[in-house]
Amino acid sequence: MNLSKTIRLNAIFFIVLSLVACSKKDQTVDTTALVVKVESANFITAGLSEPISIVSRTLSNGSTADCFKIVSKSTPTDHSMGPWCPSNITDDKSKGGIWLENGNVYDVDGAFVKNLATFYNNTTWQMYNTSTGVITKTLTQADCQAAANPNVGVAYKNYCVECLPSYVSTLTKTVYIPVTPVKLTAPISFGAGPMSSGPSVRGIAFNGVVFDAPAPVNAILGAYTLAPFDDAGGHINIGAGYHYHAAMGVSKKIAQTDGHAAMIGYALDGFGMYERLSASGTEYTDLDASRGHSDTIRGYHYHVDKAGANNFINSLAGAYAN
């Protein structure tokens, strides 16, 4: 074996060794944080298709743990769904939902749809009939399925995408959450595509609706479509059912007696998810890179991002169930 080949093999060996070491580091358990168990009684049973059960699952760090199996109807029972797309440019905000852009929340009323060309500085936007004011939107399940995907054809250019609850009335979503969260010394990144190893779902609200990955806004806008969220921050697609992209304070919350932000659900690793602001409206300034911190009452927990950010939390601080 020549010297050059030996050097290359040694380099590959050390790279592999380094990757293995990093992988093990990412899965190392942090035993210093106070751990608060998940309370299954916090969930609204009307939104579930079967009683919550405990099953044994392998966690992302390779350990085996008891997990709550939550089978959701993906249909909130604590608030209504929709509306999403207004029907005419004269409609007020009660006839439409919201849109998230650059950290801000906008009402999708008729005026917003009429003004899209100015809003995005692109005259290609023309989502309404200039004579009647009627807004072009999806009207059938077939329309919804064709328009609510990353490969929207030209037939649905300048459509407001509105998928209705009746299209997914039999759909269920199963989520597994560790009964006792396992905090790691390094966070787990969320998946950003089909080849990613991390999860895409961020967590689950008490009504059984998932806190989902950021909406693919670039793909939506790139096709000159608009897929608004309702005032609760949720919308529907055929595969995922109803799901949230923003925490709007509409779903069930559990107030805290010490003025801390209200709890709104659990992250996929079992740590609690809380509103962004405290009861008095103040921001938490000591959050880590995952948007979490710890206290002596709630242990480690997260505070969700502002609604306009199209985001909930940045990563998982704990192991999640595979």
Distance (Å, rounded) from C-alpha 107 to C-alpha 131? 23
pLDDT for the residue numbered 20 = 38
Q: How many helices and strands (H and E) does the chain possess?
A: 5, 17
Dihedral angle computed from the Cα positions of residues 118, 124, 127 and 133, in that order, rounded to the nearest 10 degrees: 70
Coil, helix or strand at residue 101: strand
Whether 228 and 248 have beta carbons less than 8 Å apart is answered as no
Tally of residues, the chain: 322
CA–CA–CA angle 239, 244, 250 (5° rounding): 140
Both tokens assigned to 308? 């306009």
Distance (Å, rounded) from C-alpha 310 to C-alpha 220? 14
Whether 190 and 200 have beta carbons less than 8 Å apart is answered as yes
Q: 189: buried, middle or exposed (CB in 10 Å: 19+, 13-18, 0-12)?
A: middle
Predicted model pTM:
0.89
Dihedral angle computed from the Cα positions of residues 15, 20, 25 and 26, in that order, rounded to the nearest 10 degrees: 100
b/e map of 70-101 (b: 16 or more CB within 10 Å)? bbbbbbbebeebbbbbbbebebebebbbbbbe
Dihedral angle computed from the Cα positions of residues 82, 150, 204 and 287, in that order, rounded to the nearest 10 degrees: -110
Counting as low any pLDDT under 50, the low residues of the chain are 1-25, 194-196
pLDDT for the residue numbered 9 = 42
Distance (Å, rounded) from C-alpha 84 to C-alpha 77? 18
